[in-house]
C-alpha cells in the first residue's frame, strides 16, 4: 500500500511535531509513508471565507501532489473534510480536474479513520501516563462522523487516564476566520469551552485538529491554567521508551 502523508499547511508551519508523530506512529505500525513535496494546502481558509477562485489552484495542486497513492492520511479532521466534501464541488466545472479529484478525494482519511478503518488497529502500542480529555472537533464530529474512533484509540493507550469533557460536542468558537471576524462571540464560546476543560480536571486536552487546539490552547495559556493541548497523533505516537 502506498501511503502518503498530507501534513496540512497549518501543521507543517506551526505544528511540525504533529507531523513527525504521525510518521513515527505509522512507521512503528510497519508502514512506509511518503510526504509528497508538491503539497501545500487544501484551500479550506479560502473556501470557507467565500474565496472560491482563490481556492481552486490549491485543489488542483492537491490532486496532482497526491495522484497515484492508495491512501492519504492527515492529522486534521477539517482538512480531510475539506478535500472529501468540497474539492469535488470546486472541481465541478472542469472535467479534467473533476476526474483527478474523484480519484484522490475518497482516499483521504483523517488519522483516526485511517488507523481504525484502513489499518484495522485500535491498540497502537502507545504509553501516555497523563489525565487526558478529548474534544471532538466539529468537522470530525459532524462532517466526517469519526464517532467513537478517536476514543477507542485513546482507551487502548497504556497509562492514560481518560476523563470526560462536559458539553464536549459544543464548538470551541474557532471557525477559521470566524475567530477574526467575530472575535467577541468567539471569545465567549472559548470561555465556556475552557471552563468545561477545567471542570474535567484533565492535565491534557487532545483533539484531532491543531486549529481548534491552537484556539483553546491559546486561551488556556493566556489564563495560565497549566492545562496542555496535545494533538491526538502525539499521544498515539508516545511510547514508554520516550515517555515525556
Partner 1 sequence: MSEGLVWLGTPAFPQAAKKALADTQLRRNLGKATGTIRDKRLRVCAELDDWEQLRDSAAALKLRTLRHLPRYLEQLEASVTAAGGTVHWAADAAEANRIVAELVKATGEREVVKVKSMATQEIGLNEALAAEGITAHETDLAELIVQLADDRPSHILVPAIHRNRAEIREIFRSRMPDAPADLTDEPRALAEAARLHLREKFLRAKVAVSGANFAVAETGTVLVVESEGNGRMCLTLPDTLITVMGIEKVVPTFADLEVFLQLLPRSATGERMNPYTSAWTGVHAADGPSTFHLVLLDNGRTATLTDQVGRQALGCIRCSACLNVCPVYERVGGHAYGSVYPGPIGAILTPQLAGVGHAASLPFASTLCGACYDACPVKINIPEVLVHLRAKEVDAKRGRRTPTVESLLMRAATEVLASPERLRLAQKAGALGGRLVGRGGRIGPLPGPFHAWSDTRDLPVPPAESFRAWWQRTHPEENDR
Residue ranges in contact with partner 1 by CB under 8 A:
7, 9, 11-17, 19-20, 34-41, 43, 45-52, 54-55, 57-58, 61, 138-139, 141-143, 169-171, 173-190, 214-215, 217-219, 221-222
Q: Could you tell me the smallest distance in angstroms from the CB atom of residue 159 to partner 1?
A: 26
**Smaller CB distance to partner 1: residue 161 or 199?**
199
**Smaller CB distance to partner 1: residue 87 or 139?**
139
**Smaller CB distance to partner 1: residue 53 or 120?**
53
d(CA 138, CA 209): 10
Q: Could you tell me the smallest distance in angstroms from the CB atom of residue 34 to partner 1?
A: 7
**Smaller CB distance to partner 1: residue 39 or 206?**
39
Q: Could you tell me the smallest distance in angstroms from the CB atom of residue 112 to partner 1?
A: 18
Sheet containing 204-207: order of strands: 161-163, 131-134, 204-207, 228-231
Taking each helix axis from N to C terminus, what angle separates 210-222 and 183-200, rounded to the nearest 10 degrees?
Answer: 80
* Residue 53, phi then psi, degrees to nearest 5: -60, -30
d(CA 25, CA 159): 17
**Smaller CB distance to partner 1: residue 77 or 160?**
77
d(CA 125, CA 58): 36
Number of Cα atoms under 13 Å in the Cβ half of residue 10: 19
Q: Could you tell me the smallest distance in angstroms from the CB atom of residue 161 to partner 1?
A: 26
DSSP secondary structure code for residue 164 in this structure: P
Set of cell numbers at residue 158: 497504556
Q: Could you tell me the smallest distance in angstroms from the CB atom of residue 120 to partner 1?
A: 27
Amino acid at each position: 500500500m502506498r501511503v502518503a502523508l498530507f501534513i496540512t499547511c497549518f501543521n507543517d508551519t506551526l505544528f511540525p511535531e504533529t507531523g513527525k508523530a504521525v510518521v513515527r506512529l505509522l512507521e512503528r505500525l510497519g508502514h512506509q509513508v511518503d510526504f509528497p513535496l508538491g503539497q501545500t494546502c487544501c484551500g479550506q481558509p479560502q473556501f470557507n471565507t467565500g474565496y472560491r477562485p482563490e481556492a481552486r489552484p490549491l485543489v488542483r495542486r492537491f490532486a496532482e501532489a497526491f495522484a497515484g497513492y492508495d491512501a492519504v492520511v492527515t492529522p486534521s479532521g477539517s482538512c480531510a473534510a475539506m478535500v472529501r466534501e468540497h474539492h469535488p464541488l470546486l472541481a465541478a466545472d472542469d472535467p479534467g480536474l473533476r476526474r483527478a479529484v474523484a480519484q484522490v478525494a475518497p482516499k483521504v482519511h483523517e488519522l483516526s479513520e485511517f488507523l481504525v478503518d484502513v489499518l484495522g488497529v485500535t491498540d497502537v502500542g502507545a504509553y501516555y501516563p497523563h489525565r487526558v480529555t478529548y474534544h471532538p472537533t466539529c468537522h470530525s464530529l459532524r462532517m466526517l462522523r469519526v464517532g467513537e474512533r478517536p476514543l477507542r484509540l485513546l482507551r487502548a493507550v497504556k497509562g492514560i487516564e481518560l476523563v470526560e469533557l462536559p458539553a464536549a460536542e459544543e464548538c470551541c468558537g474557532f471557525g477559521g476566520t470566524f475567530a477574526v471576524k467575530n472575535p467577541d462571540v468567539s471569545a465567549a464560546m472559548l470561555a465556556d469551552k475552557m471552563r468545561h476543560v477545567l471542570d474535567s480536571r484533565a492535565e491534557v486536552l487532545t483533539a484531532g485538529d491543531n486549529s481548534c487546539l491552537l484556539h483553546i490552547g491559546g486561551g488556556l495559556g493566556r489564563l495560565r491554567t497549566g492545562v496542555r493541548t496535545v494533538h491526538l497523533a502525539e499521544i498515539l505516537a508516545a511510547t514508554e521508551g520516550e515517555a515525556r
